[in-house]
Amino acid sequence: MTNRTTSRVLAAATALLALGAGAGCSTGGAAGADPQRVDVVAAFYPLQFLAERIGGDAVRVTNLAKPGAEPHDLELTPSQVGQVSEAELIVYLKGFQPAVDDAVAQNGADRAFDVTSVQPLLDASAGGHNHAGEDADEHAEEEHGGKDPHVWLDPTRLSAIGDQLAERLGKADPDHAADYTARSAALRADLTALDGEFNQGLQTCQRREVVTSHAAFGYLADRYRLEQVGITGLSPDVEPSPQRLAQVIEEAKEHQASTIFFETLVSPKVAETIAGQVGARTAVLDPIEGLAAGSDADYLSVMRTNLQTLRTALSCS
């Protein structure tokens, strides 16, 4: 953590030196930005999705997390710190990406929209099991203060964030405020329909336990009455202890889990190991932290793929 923190500080310092000459004459928009559009910086994909759907052609959205990259431990380049400094609105989730938190605190606190101010985060253990001596959430305690940041996996919470984002965009760009409100309402209708599909599709299932390589699905489990069994905690790059692996294997056998889930941006090796021990198959359950490079999917289509994957794995009728 010390090396990462040091590199973030150095990157921020370098960017500030580079920006220093022009900062005094900045008008709040990025250098070279289209003066007819609001320059928005989104910290990672779900927030980019919201900003693009609600902003439409009145905004220019830059995603700090590149396609195919795992966003938890994002390190910002000096040019990205500059984008944060020059943005008219920064949409981020405080506590999820320390480098983004640092850049916002130093260069953009007056123009930042923290989605946790709209939707307070659930505890890391929500939607899942607690076992004596379990270490799966130790890293979560260190990195996120024991809170689960994956709030976008509940469509109803995401729509509430979208409504507030429309309000913030309207303040930044009053001439298009009504358009932002209208697009937010259209997105809310899409997310409400998605929520209905999940409620209906997961209403009657033979199993309700979801064994995942990464404990990212607490909001989805909480919303749709599922039970998450996370092999690791909130950070996908933490190796589970032998004791934790044994616990998950025992639990997967107990609940006769037919599928062990892994995600698109992380190695499936641990999930495959457990699946081999319990005689289960593996499948992708996407936490939608980012899209794969070259993907033409979006939040709604990936969520619907997740729904079909869950219906098959849980034997839903």
What DSSP designation does 58 have? G
* CB-based contact 220:226 (threshold 8 Å): yes
pTM as predicted: 0.83
pLDDT one digit per residue (tens) for the chain, 317 residues: 444 444 444 444 444 444 433 333 333 334 335 788 999 999 999 999 999 999 999 999 999 999 888 898 899 999 999 999 999 999 999 999 999 999 999 999 999 999 999 988 998 876 655 443 344 444 444 344 588 999 999 999 999 999 999 999 999 999 999 999 999 999 999 999 999 999 999 999 999 999 988 789 999 999 999 999 888 766 666 677 888 888 888 888 887 888 989 887 677 888 888 889 888 898 999 999 999 889 999 999 999 999 999 999 999 99
Determine which helix (DSSP H) or strand (DSSP E) holds 282, and give its type and residue range. strand 281-284
DSSP string covering 152-164: GGSHHHHHHHHHH
CA distances from 12 to 5, 17, 176, 261 (A): 11, 9, 33, 37
Question: Taking the CA atoms of the chain, what radius of gyration do you get in angstroms?
Answer: 20
CB atoms inside a 10 Å sphere around CB 20: 9
**Tokens encoding 117:** 């101010």
Bin 77: left if φ > 0, else alpha if -120 < ψ < 50, else beta: beta
Q: What is the pLDDT of residue 262?
A: 87
